[in-house]
Amino acid sequence: MNILWVKDGKLGHEKQVEALLEEIGSTQDINITEIKASTVLNQILELITFGLLSKGIDGVENIGFDLIIGAGSNTHLEMINLKKRFKKAKAISILCPNIVFRKKFDYICVPNHDLHKRLSKQKSIFFEGSLSKIYDGPTEDSLGMFSIGGINKHYEFDEDYILEQICFLASIYPYKIWHIFNSRRTPSSMNNKIKNLLESYKNISFEDVHNNNVKNKYQDILHSASIKVITKDSVNMVYESLSSSGQSFLFDMDAKNSNKIVKNINALINERRIGCLDKTLMADGLYNLKLRPQNKHFDVMREVEKLAYTILKKLNRR
């Protein structure tokens, strides 16, 4: 199977497509060609000139692609243009395109929290949360992990309160080596506070996203850590953790509103599919922190495995 992957340069989008293609490749012989989406202006010019202003793709014009795939709004028009050029290929969007573009795709794969969007039943394939690689192997009891997001429109990002929760866990599990991973959304003020924290806690290591070697280390620790604690705003990180062995917990964070992301996170907590840190108020404004564990019988999530199976089943029907 020849696959053309259109990338938009956004890590969260590309990790989901990478996980899906890796899963498809576990049962199929695939050949992947990666291209970067051109600028929106170039995409529009190609569309309105019926491809006359297309630059072409060096070395692949004669490949018979079976599948064109991509995630994110910056890839949608590019994929539509490519589908005109590679007419036999099926176009699959991971995440929901603009309503104007939806009819141009053969299949649209979207998370359950987008059920409200107007989608063709024949084209839509739903999955839960975010697509992540599956790891169900053993973990190391001596390793713990914190995944920190940043400023967002869903939750209050209270830097000092998040740091307090980090200190709480590092103190009650002093025998664990804790790795703190930030993200590109993490404010520099938070990064500086984490660095200052290292002076007091020798069992904490800061893995800064701006260091080149952190990407591979993130996956290693994610799979090895026996306990992982994630900020609620980091949906991709939440589902990466739930797709891996070990215990998963959420930091205590106040919601700004009750949108689809907040409802999704609340459902995970209420169903005990993920653990969380709780704050119990006491007298005079004082409070205690405690861990509420996830259901110990909860297995790792396998959304990417189920989605790959469904896609291949639909493609083989044609």
Distance CA 199, CA 307 (A): 45
- Is CATH 3.40.1000 the right assignment for the domain spanning 140-292? no
Q: What is the mean pLDDT of the chain?
A: 90
pTM of the model: 0.87
The pLDDT tens digits for 142-177 are: 999 999 999 999 999 999 999 999 999 999 999 999
Element (H, E) at 82: helix 73-85
Q: Does residue 54 carry a pLDDT above 60?
A: no
Give domain limits for the chain: 2-131+304-317, 140-292
**Per-residue model confidence as pLDDT tens digits over 5-52:** 999 999 889 999 999 999 999 999 999 999 998 766 666 665 665 555
Q: How far apart are alpha carbons 115 and 150 in whole angstroms?
A: 27
The amino acid that residue 246 corresponds to is: G
| Cα 161 to Cα 201, 251, 264, 280, 287, distances in angstroms | 17, 9, 23, 14, 12
- The per-residue pLDDT for range 64-102, each reduced to its tens digit, is 899 999 999 899 989 998 998 898 999 999 999 988 889
Same fold flag, 2-131+304-317 and 140-292: yes
What is the C-alpha to C-alpha distance for residues 198 and 202, in angstroms, rounded to an integer?
A: 6
Using alpha carbons, select from 116, 56, 133 the residue that is nearest to residue 263.
Answer: 116
Report the pLDDT value the prediction gives residue 118, as an integer from 0 to 100: 77
**Could you say which of 3.40.50.2300, 3.40.50.300, 3.40.50.11010, 2.40.50.100 is the CATH number of the domain covering 2-131+304-317?**
3.40.50.11010
